[in-house]
């Protein structure tokens, strides 16, 4: 059981370039999330999805776009990368949002923007 898989694991971009991070889960989870993790800060929610075909903004959505065309996949796009987007990005999934629903995280994608 793979759980949550993120690709790529590492990427270096130049300012202004675009890229897409792919997240895939095989647990049939309805909810999927994209977080960024920066030193000295808690995980911050970028965008999330409560089901196939739906997306919603989180705490720090500016500069990012997402799509959830298939239930198992959640894509995070950067249209014009900026150095402030240098971070470790984590995808997560869960069965729902209420109660003790636990997040299952991917291994992370480390992005550096020069």
Q: Which is nearer to another protein, 85 or 94 (CB)?
A: 94
What's the closest the beta carbon of residue 40 comes to another protein, in angstroms?
6
Which CB, 17 or 60, lies closer to another protein?
Answer: 60
CA distance 44 to 15: 22
- List contacts with another protein (CB under 8 A): 4, 40-45, 58, 90, 97-100, 102-108
Can you tell me the distance from the alpha carbon of 65 to that of 4, in angstroms, rounded to the nearest whole number?
20
| Residue 105 to residue 91: CA distance in whole angstroms | 6
Complex with another protein: residue 38 or 79, whichever CB lies closer: 38
Residue 67 beta carbon to another protein: minimum distance, rounded to whole angstroms: 21
Angle (nearest 5°) at CA 20 between 18 and 25: 170
């Amino acid at each position: 059981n793979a759980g949550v898989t993120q690709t790529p694991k590492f990427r270096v971009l130049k300012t202004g370039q675009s890229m897409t991070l792919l997240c895939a889960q095989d647990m049939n989870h309805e909810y999927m999330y994209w977080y960024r993790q920066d030193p000295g800060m808690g995980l911050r929610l970028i965008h999330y999805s409560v089901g196939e075909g739906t997306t919603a903004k989180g705490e720090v959505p500016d500069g990012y776009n997402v799509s959830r065309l298939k239930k198992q996949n959640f894509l995070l796009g950067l249209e014009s990368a900026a150095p402030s987007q240098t971070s470790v990005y984590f995808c997560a999934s869960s069965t729902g949002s209420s109660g003790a629903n636990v997040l299952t995280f991917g291994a992370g994608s480390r992005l550096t923007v020069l």
